[in-house]
Amino acid sequence: MSSIYNQLIAILTRYMSGVNAHGILGNAVRQALLNPDQLHPRDIEILIPRLDRGIRLFVEVARQKQLWTEIEALSGRRETPSHTVSIRSEQDISQARVLAKAMCENARAKSFVTQKVATVVSELARNIVSYTQGGSIELVMAEGSQARILVRATDTGPGIPNIDEVLSGRYRSATGLGKGLVGVKRLADRFNIRTSKNGTQIEAEVHL
């Protein structure tokens, strides 16, 4: 196995059993049609969404953020200081949207990409206001071979128990929760969601 594969296993086994670590990484590599003997740091970007389900299953929510931080550090991804907006009201949604558009414009993103990011921020912030007692939207400009903005929505609500139905588009609610999240997933170049009874964190990354 490649050095990157072994380093990923070493990270995962700090958070779960060796059997589970080898199982979810092996499945992720096969799904991505990658060779475990020739993994490169850039391949971690491809593996991240395929690792998400297993990590949500085997790792406590309180430890997941640190695990993802270690995995992303191995990929060589660097993030600039972020901007965080507390979300509790319609005014906060507007503030987060304006900030996101300003960050995109400063990065010289095309207008349609700027609008895409603004829509992602609006949908995620509105979900926080509509379904929880409050949370935050964090906006991060990530450096690397591809300029991108990461939108990280965090709340301490009751979680989304039927998340697989929601993301597949099979779930429909009178309040529009399913439609909003599916829309964000389609707009994002990378989408991850971690949810439990203690809260939800959604990451949507858009290439600029």
Residue-wise pLDDT for 65-79, tens only, equals 889 888 988 877 655
| Helices 3-12 + 61-74 axis angle, to 10 | 160
Secondary structure of residue 176 in the 3-state scheme:
coil
For the residues 97-118, what does the mean pLDDT come to?
92
CATH of 78-207, one of 1.20.1090.10, 3.40.640.10, 3.30.565.10, 3.30.70.260: 3.30.565.10
Write the pLDDT tens digit of every residue in 179-189. Answer: 788 899 999 99
d(CA 204, CA 208): 13
Residue 27 near residue 34, CB atoms below 8 Å: no
Rounded-to-integer distance, Cα 64 and Cα 78, Å: 19
pLDDT band at 161 (very low <50, low <70, confident <90, very high): confident
